[in-house]
Amino acid sequence: MNYSPVQPPRRILMGPGPSDVAPRVLAAMAAPTVGHLDPYFLRIMDETQAMLRTVFQTENRLTLAVSGTGSAGMEACIVNLIEPGDRMVVGINGVFGGRMADVARRAGADVLTIERPFGEVFDPQEVAAAIKAHSPKVVGLVHAETSTGALQPLEEISELVHAAGGLLLVDCVTSLGGVPVEIDRWNIDAAYSGTQKCLSCPPGLAPVTFSSRAVEAMDARKTKVASWYLDMSMVRNYWSGQSRAYHHTAPINMNFGLHEALRAVLEEGLPARHARHLANHLALRAGLEALGIEYAVAEEYRLPMLNAVRIPEGVDDKAVRGRLLQEFGIEIGAGLGPMAGKTWRIGLMGEASTKRNVLLFLGALENCLQQAGCSIVPGAGVAAANNAYQDQ
């Protein structure tokens, strides 16, 4: 049998992640592999830590890239902070809050969940009530719920968590690199992210950061961390300190990719990067609204990098996504959970957040909608987006 060589089609990744990867990042990943204790690789690790601190806006010493995708970052934070019987409050307003609660229960936490319909966010008072009822060691929230397109404000909640003596854990998988994530200013104790969203690197690593309070809690554990692979007390000796002891063989070339992706983020600068994500979101929004398409999330909580919109009445979800992919090479995401079949998730993450993609997508969508029999003013989407860019 002849197996085919890997020759993936060229796509424009405008879904919920992975996002488009810059050629410079792919080139870094194709560099010669070195050993995981090679002085060159140790230097790359040091630089990666320093760049991650800048992107997370933190001085936290314990900041590194966990080997594994965003979910590994989630598990790493939870299994290191939670001992069996510890109390945790988890906010579920989408798929990833649900995953966090599942992971916490598997780690032996006594979990109290608070819930909001998909697309909504938590207000500080309901988190305060849950803290009062449960006295948690850890409160876990998702900053950018990729499954719904909603952005959770964190500052006020952080004050409440700390006033009650708890630790705040935040999922920044989709937010990091696309909107401000201010770990130190917001007093976040543990956060995890992923490489494949607004950092525009392929999936495979999970940046994490822990505050000194979180490290103290980890150092005060009475039981061993339930996961050998993700035990930060060992992993951190590989990433820093005198010994740089072997723990596991780091995915070398994946780390090369992240290093280059972070260099690109810092070359652009965080404020400029955040402004770019917002500008393209606003133009896309203008275009979608001109095509009669509505957002599924209230305006003040919308994610700029993940636009969750309602599928127009009578339009076949799968057929449109299929045509976008087959005829235009554009991937967008389907709705998840209760939003399945009702929403599309249009990503503008990292490298994919460009004027070119916004205008191309609006033209392609108009084509699909016309074919689906929708009555739209020809060119309205692209024109509205162009006007939005003019106004910026």
Question: Quick one: angle between helices 270-290 and 252-268, nearest 10?
Answer: 80
Q: Nearest distance from residue 392's CB to ligand PLP, in Å?
A: 27
Closest distance of CB 100 from ligand PLP, Å:
8
Q: How far apart are CA 99 and CA 159, in angstroms?
A: 25
**113/367 with CB nearer ligand PLP:** 113
Q: Which residue is nearest to ligand PLP (CB)?
A: 70
Residue among 120, 173, 116, 119 nearest 148 (CA):
119
Peptide bond into 23 cis (omega under 30): no
Residue 141: φ, ψ to 5°: -135, 155
The conformation of residue 176, written as its DSSP 8-state character, comes to: B
Closer residue to ligand PLP in complex, CB, 72/232:
72
Q: Phi then psi for 258, rounded to 5 degrees?
A: -65, -40
Which residue lies nearer to ligand PLP by CB, 306 or 382?
A: 306
Using alpha carbons, list the distances in angstroms from residue 61 to 138, 235, 240.
Answer: 20, 13, 9
**89 vs 205, beta carbon nearer ligand PLP:** 205
Q: Is 271 exposed, middle or buried (0-12, 13-18, 19+ CB in 10 A)?
A: exposed
Q: What SS3 class is residue 343?
A: strand
Using alpha carbons, select from 304, 309, 299, 280 the residue that is nearest to residue 121.
Answer: 299
Closest contact distance (angstroms) between CB of 188 and ligand PLP is 15
- Least separation, in Å, of the C-beta of 7 and ligand PLP? 25
| Min CB(97)–ligand PLP separation in Å | 9
Smaller CB separation from ligand PLP, 194 or 304: 194
CB of 254 to ligand PLP, least distance (A): 13
Nearer to ligand PLP, 194 or 381 (CB): 194
Which two three-digit tokens encode residue 140? 């876990």
Q: Which is nearer to ligand PLP, 312 or 338 (CB)?
A: 338
Residue 334: which H helix or E strand, with range? strand 333-334
The residues binding ligand PLP (CB under 6 A) are: 16-17, 69-71, 74, 96, 142, 146, 171, 173-174, 194, 203
For the bound state, the minimum distance from the C-beta of residue 78 to ligand PLP, rounded and expressed in Å, comes to 12
175 and 153 Cβ atoms separated by less than 8 Å: no
